[in-house]
């Protein structure tokens, strides 16, 4: 089970890093709405939440791939 978790989480972590770099190269969180003049905190929160959401989506994709791959082996 631990090996399967690492097979899912590590590649999804690496892809999330690349995806966040690409996403926030195009979108600047400081140009969004400002909450009470706390631009630095808002920007950091946006980067953090964005990274974890991207990681979650990449992990779900990797988990689905593993699930479907294991299902195909069991059918044979």
HEC readout, the chain: CHHHHHHHHHHHHHHHHHHHHHHHHHCCHHHCCCCCCCHHHHHHHHHHHHHHHHHHHHHHHHHHHHHHHHHHHHHC
Q: pLDDT band for position 74 (50/70/90)?
A: low
Domain spans of the chain, in order of start: 2-29+42-75
Contacts with 62 (C-beta within 8 Å, 6 or more apart), sequence order: 7, 8, 9, 11, 12
Compute the distance between CA of residue 51 and CA of residue 61 in angstroms, rounded to an integer.
Answer: 15
**Residue 76, pLDDT above cutoff 70:** no
More confident residue, 25 or 69: 25
């Amino acid at each position: 089970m631990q090996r399967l978790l690492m097979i899912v989480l590590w590649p999804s972590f690496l892809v999330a890093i690349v995806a966040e770099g690409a996403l926030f190269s195009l979108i600047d969180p400081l140009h969004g709405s400002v909450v009470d003049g706390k631009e630095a905190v808002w920007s950091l929160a946006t980067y953090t939440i964005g990274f974890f959401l991207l990681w979650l989506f990449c992990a779900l994709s990797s988990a689905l791939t593993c699930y479907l791959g294991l299902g195909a082996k069991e059918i044979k």
